[in-house]
Amino acid sequence: MASPHRSIPAWLQAGPFAAVFVLFFLVPLALTLMVSFWGFNEYELLPGFRLDNYLSIFKGCGHLNERGDLCVTLATYLSTLKFCLLVWAITLLLGFAVAYFLAFHVRSPGVQTALFVLCTVPFWTSNVIRMISWVPLLGRNGLVNQVLVGSGVANQPVEWLLFSNFSVVLAFVHLYTMFMIVPIFNSMMRIDRSLLEAASDSGASGWQTLWNVIVPLSRTGIIIGSIFVITIVMGDFVTIGVMGGQQIASVGKIIQVQTSYLQFPLAAANAVILLAVVLMIIWGLTRLVDIRREL
């Protein structure tokens, strides 16, 4: 008997999904791109087509300023990319280690599930609450400084533990390591265990098996996790604002400030540039592995 689904044209089956994609993805992007070319003043938006917003963003970026520094836009992007690279490297190491332990050292499926669920516990509360929880630990009079001063390790409270680059990176790692664990763990669970036995029978050491067998076969999960972490960190402004004490600039923070001052066309132009940068990074990552073929 013919399947009832075969009587429905393929384009009609895909219609609802295409409509959702167009309505909630393509239309907002098109509106953002359109508004980025508009003008504005203190009172209203001025529809039209002009490049003033993009020229304003890159003003002075063709040369160093009088102090020998980069323009604000390039300095901000470099700062954001710095955080992105640090967070990506740390979450990759932590995520790979945790996923490797769960996949190859925990034999019981029940224990695997329990430990995996335990990793998701931080997601049971909001990001803001998880960030704020670091304040009483890392503050000048926080628990960490009390321990350091009380044990004689430090003569006075350490200032850089909070509202600094360190606290921003720490919060990012705390918030987003799970986005690296899940896809890597999924890739590792699909590895044929007979390949590991064959490598061991061939005389390969544990490190050789890890580097030549497990890492290549986990690259799809590594790339997917990297895309998750990089895209989130590049556009984040809440974490940098809270943990940086509103003193550290980022692209997302600039966009948030511009929208708060109703400078929507300028914020839209910055958003378009940020999207282009993120898409180039994603394009570079996807060149390393054909995700569609590997999934």
The pLDDT assigned to 201 comes to 83
The pLDDT assigned to 231 comes to 93
221 is a domain residue: yes
pLDDT at 250 over 80: yes
Cα–Cα separations (whole angstroms), residue 117 to 122, 124, 182, 202, 222: 10, 11, 11, 36, 20
262 is a domain residue: yes
| 205, 207, 208, 211: CA torsion to nearest 10 | 160
59 is a domain residue: no
- Using an 8 Å Cβ cutoff, are 184 and 222 in contact? yes
The pLDDT assigned to 1 comes to 47
Number of domains in the chain: 1
pLDDT at 291 over 80: no
- Using an 8 Å Cβ cutoff, are 229 and 180 in contact? yes
42 is a domain residue: no
Highest-scoring range by mean pLDDT, 22-31, 40-49, 193-202: 22-31
Angle between helices 219-235 and 251-260 (to 10 degrees): 40
Please, which residues have CB within 8 angstroms of residue 243's CB and are 6 or more apart in sequence? Answer: 131, 134, 162, 163, 167, 168, 170, 171
45 is a domain residue: no
The domain of 136 spans 70-294
Per residue in 61-97, pLDDT tens? 776 666 667 788 888 999 999 999 999 999 999 999 9
161 is a domain residue: yes
130 is a domain residue: yes
Per residue in 96-153, pLDDT tens? 999 999 988 887 888 888 888 888 877 777 888 888 888 888 888 888 888 888 888 8
C-alpha of 198 from chain center: 36
pLDDT at 5 over 60: no
Band of pLDDT at residue 295, cut at 50, 70 and 90: low
18 is a domain residue: no
CATH number at residue 92: 1.10.3720.10
pLDDT at 208 over 80: yes
The pLDDT assigned to 84 comes to 94
Across residues 49-69, what is the average pLDDT?
79
pLDDT at 33 over 90: yes
Across residues 183-195, what is the average pLDDT?
89
**Cβ-based burial of 170 (10 A; exposed 0-12, middle 13-18, buried ≥19):** buried
